[in-house]
Chain A
Amino acid sequence: MSSYEIPVAAIKPGTPVTAPRRSLSTRWISVLTLVALVAIWWAVTATGLIEPLFLPPPSAVLQKGWLLATSGYMDSTLWQHLGASLSRIGLGLGFAILTAVPVGIAIGANRIARGVLDPLIEFYRPIPPLAYLPLIVIWCGIGELSKVLLIYLAIFAPIAIATATGVRTVDPAKLRAAQSLGATRVQLIRHVILPSALPDILTGVRIGLGVGWSTLVAAELIAATSGLGFMVQSAAQFLVTDVVVLGILVIALIAFAMELGLRALQRKLVPWHGQAH
């Protein structure tokens, strides 16, 4: 116990023991790291150590960002590219949640469904989505359907597997309690199994979104006429490095924002998760 190591006389009234003065919180350390990184970036470009063709200065990237947001690149503004990517992942995610959650519940709750579906999911899950992208393109063409289908498949497996895990680890006492209050099988799923599995489902969505986002951007590098991946790829062909760097930054920012959003959603939807109850 660290509190034993602090002499009692040294603790002034009102000073929190866990956060002594002069020490930085982890969050501030992270912020300082980022600031330092940008400073180094600025330093190596401003002194001419690295040529702008390989790494443009932060100011140039920001300027380009403004230009892209207002007048656009490759027939579309930054917002249109962003919108194209987000709508693809949104569609893929929506369909994945609608189908993977029932499939996960079936796998977790029903022996036959587990026997049928589990090997199918376990077969395709470890394959990198880009490996079966060519097959999807052959089957569905190079239109929107292929991209959404690819995202959908990438997100589906993590959600289905996480849901099944959640269903299988439902507290048997809660099931018995509901049964002895007269719950039918459908009511058990609706009132006990689904809410019990919700923390796992949300974890599955988090993992799925991470996989889906990287798959999407990669798919847009290959077959697309809009989207962030397409924007980066076409800029690279003309050595427009500032657009490439900008695109990478936006892709990273979106991934970060999705992660933060889902964590907030998890806190709001499953406040009991991690509580001793």
Chain B
Amino acid sequence: MALLQLERISAQYPGNPEPVLADISLSLGPRQLLVALGPSGSGKTSLLNLIAGFVEASAGRITLDGVPVKGPSAERGVVFQDDALLPWQDVLANVGFGLELAGIARNKREARAREMLALVDLSGFEQRRIWQLSGGQKQRVGLARALAADPRVLLMDEPFGALDAFTREQMQELLLQVWQRTAKPVFLITHDIEEAVFLATDLILLAPNPGQIVERLSLDFGQRYAAGESARSIKSDPRFIETREHVLAKVFSQRSAAQRQERA
């Protein structure tokens, strides 16, 4: 059963008649890791902002467990590209922030926060200040913070986009481990093709002008990693490379089609 449902969603910026997203339908259920892949301008950030409730759709319906989504809420946890952590609190307080907002007692929320820090492999960093962390560590804290509030779905806005290539690979593997252990449905957006193919159980490819879904794929590379296969062996598998090239070709064919349209 699908948990999160988008039915024929369209969106546009105020004062601009050109739609950012047109007629998007998708669903996200348990044990799914849905990745929206697209070049800049394809409306993937707008799509995430719609689901998170930061902006409103101009047409269509978004429901979570059958209830229409209205505004941001703790049911839909978000991990941001630039961590958006609170520098006046230490790591432990940042992770427990959602629980503090919910009025949960200090000892309970700290216990939960410690548990989440262990989950993202950051035990021992409880008392650190945010500015003492590396980019990858900050993203782990952001992930732990979102998970601590126990959301129904986890939304990730290009979470590894600002990290260096090595850290990014580590973080992808960490995400798969966490996803496997918590069984949270994840919706992640990225412009990194290899990342998308590696992580996704379900991949949607977005094309710009206006943002629309041009391809849907079901993949199992992430599950293979979760089942114990090494990341390098998956990423050098001919099937992985074939899928990556297929998606890449699709992106470029879309792009040249758009250019032909512009010239005509």
Contact = CB atoms under 8 A, between A and B. Distances in A.
Contact of A277 (B53, B85, B98, B155): B85
Given A176-B52, A176-B78, A275-B131, A182 B84 contact: no
Nearest to A269: B88
Interface in B31-83: 52-54, 71-74, 76-78, 80, 82
Contacts of B143: none
B84 A173 contact: yes
Nearest to A181: B98
Nearest to B148: A181
B101 A272 contact: no
B256 to A, nearest CB: 35
Contact of A181 (B71, B82, B145): B145
Interface stretch (A50-58, A85-93, A138-146, A187-195): A187-195
A171 to B, nearest CB: 7
Contacts of A276: 131
A259 B57 CA distance: 51
B73 A178 contact: no
Contacts of B97: 178, 181, 191
Contacts of B102: 182
A180 B52 contact: yes
A171 B84 contact: yes
A174 B87 CA distance: 10
Nearest to B81: A173
Nearest to A184: B101
Interface residues of B, number: 29
B84 A177 contact: yes
A174 B84 contact: yes
B80 A191 contact: no
A121 interface: no
Contacts of A180: 52-54, 72-74, 76-78, 146, 155
A248 interface: no
A54 to B, nearest CB: 53
A277 B131 contact: yes
B129 interface: yes
Contacts of B77: 180-181
A59 interface: no
A179 interface: yes
Interface string A259-277: 0000000000011100111
A250 interface: no
B86 interface: yes
B76 to A, nearest CB: 6
A270 B149 CA distance: 27
B74 A182 contact: yes
A184 B71 CA distance: 11
A128 B78 CA distance: 49
A133 interface: no
B189 interface: no
A173 to B, nearest CB: 4
Listed from nearest, the 3 A-B pairs whose CB atoms lie closest are: A182-B74, A272-B87, A181-B98
Interface of B: 52-54, 71-74, 76-78, 80, 82, 84-88, 97-98, 100-102, 129-131, 145-146, 149, 155
30 contacts: A171-B84, A174-B86, A176-B78, A177-B80, A177-B84, A177-B85, A177-B145, A178-B97, A179-B53, A179-B72, A180-B53, A180-B73, A180-B78, A181-B77, A181-B101, A181-B145, A181-B146, A182-B73, A182-B101, A187-B101, A191-B97, A191-B100, A270-B88, A271-B129, A272-B87, A272-B129, A272-B131, A275-B87, A275-B131, A277-B85
Given A180-B77, A275-B131, 18 more contacts: A171-B84, A173-B84, A174-B86, A176-B52, A177-B84, A179-B53, A179-B54, A179-B72, A180-B53, A180-B73, A180-B146, A181-B145, A182-B73, A182-B74, A191-B97, A191-B100, A272-B130, A277-B85
